[in-house]
C-alpha cells in the first residue's frame, strides 16, 4: 500500500472542504481533498444560492470571488407575502447597509475547484472505500482506494466535510457524539425554470394551501419551491400541476402574475433539523452538513458551512504557526453558538410560513398575527434582518 503524507486530510469536495483547502493553501498548509463523486457530478449538484454578507466577503478574501462579483444578484431586501399582499423587509436599511448575494452553490464549487487545480493542490475525485483511523492519536490516518489502488494518507488533522451521509461522522467511537434532531411533516418540491425571475428579490409566501418561495439563480433562471406532503414523489408532480400550485400560492390581490417557462430540473427534499455535538473527535473536526442540517427556509446551510471552516482554518493556522491549540479546543463551542442561533432562526421561519397537517384555524391565525407584527414593527423587522444577513454575535 502506497503511503502519502500531508498536514490536513479533507474529506469531501463541497463548499466546506474546498474553502478550507483554499484557506490552508493561503496560509502555507498542505492538504489533500478526497471526494467520492466525479467532478462533473460535484459541479452540477444544485444546492443553496443565498450568501450572507460575510460568506461573500470570505470568498473575495480567498481570491475566488471574481466571477461571483460579475454574475451575482445582490438583494437589499426580501418580501413576505400573505393574504394576497406583499411586504418588503429592508435588509440593508435595517442592518447598516448589509445585503445578501444570490450566486448558485454549484457555481461557487466550480470556482473553488478551478482555483484548487490551478494551484496544483491535490484534489482526488472518485475515491472509494474511504476509512478514517487513529482519530485520537497525533497521526490520524485515512485509507482509500484511488483507481483501484489502495493508499494510506497520514496527517496531523482530518476535516470531515462530507455531509450527513459521509464516512466522517460514523468514524468516531460509539457514544462519542450526541445528536439533536427534528423532522418536519412536509417536504419542499423545488424547480429550476428557464424563465426570467418575476421579481427582483426573494418572496416568502404563506398560503392556506402551503408555503411557496420565489427565488432566482440568474437574470434568466428562476428557482421556485412549494411545500408538499412529506411522502410525495416527484411523479405526482407533473409540470402543469407545479405551475398551477405556484400560481395559486404566489397570486396577488392586484393581479400580479408569475412568469412561467420550461422546467429544467425538479426534485423533492425532506425538511429536517440536525445538530451533532461536539463537532470534533480527537484530531477529526466536522464542518458543514457533516455536523448540522438546517431547514432551507432561513438560507443558512452553506453559510454555516463556510463559517465553520473559517473558524477551523484559523485554528489550524494558529496551531501550525505557534503550537497554540486553544482555538482548536474551542472550535466546537465557537461554531455551535452560531449553529444553534441559525437553527432557531430557521425553525422560527419554518414554523411561521408552513402549514402543518395538524393545523386548525387557530394555528393559521397565530401565523398571520406573527407575520403582521413582523411587517409592522421596526424592532421585529430588525431582528429578522440581522439574522437573515448573518448575525455576527451569535
Shared domain check, 192 and 66:
no
pLDDT attached to residue 172: 96
Residue 299: how many other CB atoms lie within 10 Å: 26
Per residue in 233-287, pLDDT (tens digit) is 999 999 999 999 999 999 999 989 999 999 999 999 999 999 999 999 999 999 9
Shared domain check, 175 and 30:
yes
Domain residues for the domain of 219 are 184-270+356-389
Give me the catalytic one of 214, 300, 307, 354. 300
Give me the catalytic one of 75, 76, 151, 292. 75
pLDDT attached to residue 323: 95
pLDDT attached to residue 393: 56
Per residue in 176-194, pLDDT (tens digit) is 999 999 999 999 999 999 9
Residue 44: pLDDT band by 50, 70, 90 thresholds?
Answer: confident
Give the length of the chain.
Answer: 394
Q: Work out the average pLDDT over 357-376.
A: 93
Q: Work out the average pLDDT over 56-79.
A: 96
83 domain residue, yes or no: no
95 domain residue, yes or no: no
Shared domain check, 278 and 164:
yes
When computed from its CA atoms, the radius of gyration of the chain, rounded to whole angstroms, is: 22
- How many Cα atoms sit within 13 Å of 57 on the Cβ side? 10
Q: How many domains does the chain have?
A: 2
In three state form, how does the secondary structure of the chain look? CEEEECCEEEECCCHHHHHHHHHHHHCCCCEEEECCCCHHHHHHCCCCCEECHHHHHHHHHCCCCHHHHHHCEEECEEEEEECCEEEEEEHHHHCCCCCEEECCHHHHHHHHHHHHHHCCCCEECCEEEEEEECCCCCCCEEEEEECCEEEEEECCEEEECCCCCCCCHHHCCCCCCEEEEEEEEEEEEEEEECCCCCCCCCEEECCCCCCEEEEEEECCEEEEEEEEECCCCHHHCCHHHHHHHHHHHCCCCCCCCCCCCCEEEEEEEEEEEEEEECCEECCEEECHHHCEECCHHHCCHHHHHHHHHHHHHHHHHHHHHHCCCHHHHHHHHHHHHHHHHHHHHHHHHHHHHCCCCCCCHHHHHHHHHHHHHHHHCHHHHHHHHHHHHCCCCC
93 domain residue, yes or no: no
The Cα 160–Cα 217 span in angstroms is 29
Residue 54: pLDDT band by 50, 70, 90 thresholds?
Answer: very high
pLDDT attached to residue 223: 94
Per residue in 97-128, pLDDT (tens digit) is 999 999 989 999 999 999 999 999 999 999 99
Give me the catalytic one of 197, 214, 296, 354. 296
The Cα 336–Cα 247 span in angstroms is 39
Per residue in 145-179, pLDDT (tens digit) is 987 789 899 999 999 999 999 999 999 999 999 99
Percent of residues, the chain, with pLDDT higher than 70: 99
**CATH number of the domain enclosing 321:** 3.50.50.60
Question: In what side-by-side order are the strands of the sheet with 2-5?
Answer: 2-5, 149-154, 141-146, 127-133
Q: What predicted TM-score, i.e. pTM, was given to this entire model? A: 0.95
51 domain residue, yes or no: yes
Q: Work out the average pLDDT over 43-72.
A: 92
Is 103 known to be catalytic? no
Whether the predicted pLDDT of 356 surpasses 60:
yes
Strands 149-154 and 221-229 come out as unpaired
pLDDT attached to residue 47: 73
63 domain residue, yes or no: yes
- How many Cα atoms sit within 13 Å of 77 on the Cβ side? 13
What's the chain's average pLDDT? 95
Shared domain check, 147 and 44:
yes
Shared domain check, 243 and 165:
no
Residue 42: pLDDT band by 50, 70, 90 thresholds?
Answer: very high
Is 388 known to be catalytic? yes
Q: Work out the average pLDDT over 355-359.
A: 84
Whether the predicted pLDDT of 94 surpasses 70:
yes
Shared domain check, 315 and 197:
no
Shared domain check, 198 and 107:
no
Shared domain check, 265 and 277:
no
Shared domain check, 225 and 167:
no
94 domain residue, yes or no: no
Residue 2: pLDDT band by 50, 70, 90 thresholds?
Answer: confident
pLDDT attached to residue 392: 67
Shared domain check, 201 and 238:
yes
**CATH number of the domain enclosing 379:** 3.30.9.10
Whether the predicted pLDDT of 71 surpasses 60:
yes
176 domain residue, yes or no: yes
pLDDT attached to residue 303: 96
81 domain residue, yes or no: no
Shared domain check, 158 and 20:
yes
- Residue 358 contacts by C-beta under 8 Å, 6 or more apart in sequence? 185
pLDDT attached to residue 394: 54
Is 300 known to be catalytic? yes
Is 204 known to be catalytic? yes
The partner residues of 214 in beta bridges, in order of sequence, read 203, 224
Shared domain check, 54 and 39:
yes
Amino acid at each position: 500500500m502506497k503511503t502519502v503524507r500531508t498536514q490536513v486530510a479533507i474529506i469531501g469536495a463541497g463548499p466546506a472542504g474546498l474553502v478550507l483547502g483554499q484557506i490552508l493553501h493561503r496560509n502555507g498548509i498542505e492538504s489533500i481533498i478526497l471526494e467520492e463523486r466525479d467532478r462533473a457530478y460535484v459541479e452540477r449538484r444544485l444546492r443553496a444560492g443565498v450568501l450572507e454578507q460575510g460568506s461573500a466577503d470570505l470568498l473575495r478574501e480567498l481570491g475566488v470571488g471574481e466571477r461571483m462579483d460579475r454574475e451575482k444578484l445582490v438583494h437589499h431586501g426580501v418580501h413576505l407575502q400573505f393574504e394576497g399582499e406583499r411586504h418588503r423587509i429592508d435588509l440593508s436599511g435595517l442592518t447598516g447597509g448589509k445585503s445578501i448575494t444570490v450566486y448558485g452553490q454549484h457555481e461557487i464549487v466550480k470556482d473553488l475547484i478551478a482555483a484548487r487545480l490551478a494551484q496544483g493542490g491535490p484534489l482526488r475525485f472518485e475515491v472509494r472505500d474511504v476509512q478514517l483511523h487513529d482519530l485520537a492519536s497525533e497521526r490520524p490516518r485515512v485509507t482509500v482506494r484511488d483507481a483501484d489502488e489502495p493508499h494510506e494518507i497520514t496527517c496531523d488533522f482530518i476535516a470531515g466535510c462530507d455531509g450527513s451521509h459521509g464516512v466522517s461522522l460514523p468514524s468516531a467511537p460509539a457514544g462519542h457524539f450526541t445528536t439533536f434532531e427534528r423532522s418536519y411533516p412536509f417536504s419542499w418540491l423545488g424547480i429550476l425554470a428557464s424563465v426570467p425571475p418575476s421579481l427582483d428579490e426573494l418572496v416568502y409566501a404563506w398560503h392556506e394551501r402551503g408555503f411557496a418561495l420565489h427565488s432566482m439563480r440568474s437574470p434568466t433562471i428562476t428557482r421556485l419551491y412549494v411545500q408538499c406532503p412529506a411522502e410525495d414523489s416527484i411523479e405526482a408532480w407533473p409540470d402543469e400541476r407545479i405551475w398551477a400550485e405556484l400560481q395559486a400560492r404566489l397570486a396577488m390581490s392586484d393581479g400580479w402574475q408569475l412568469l412561467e417557462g420550461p422546467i429544467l430540473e425538479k426534485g423533492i427534499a425532506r425538511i429536517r433539523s440536525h445538530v451533532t455535538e461536539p463537532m470534533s473527535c480527537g484530531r477529526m473536526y466536522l464542518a458543514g452538513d457533516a455536523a448540522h442540517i438546517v431547514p432551507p427556509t432561513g438560507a443558512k446551510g452553506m453559510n454555516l458551512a463556510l463559517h465553520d471552516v473559517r473558524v477551523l482554518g484559523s485554528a489550524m493556522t494558529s496551531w501550525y504557526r505557534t503550537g497554540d491549540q486553544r482555538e482548536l479546543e474551542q472550535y466546537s463551542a465557537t461554531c455551535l453558538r452560531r449553529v444553534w442561533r441559525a437553527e432557531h432562526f430557521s425553525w422560527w421561519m419554518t414554523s411561521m410560513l408552513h402549514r402543518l397537517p395538524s393545523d386548525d384555524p387557530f394555528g393559521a391565525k397565530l401565523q398571520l398575527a406573527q407575520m403582521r407584527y413582523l411587517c409592522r414593527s421596526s424592532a421585529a423587522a430588525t431582528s429578522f434582518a440581522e439574522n437573515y444577513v448573518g448575525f455576527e454575535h451569535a
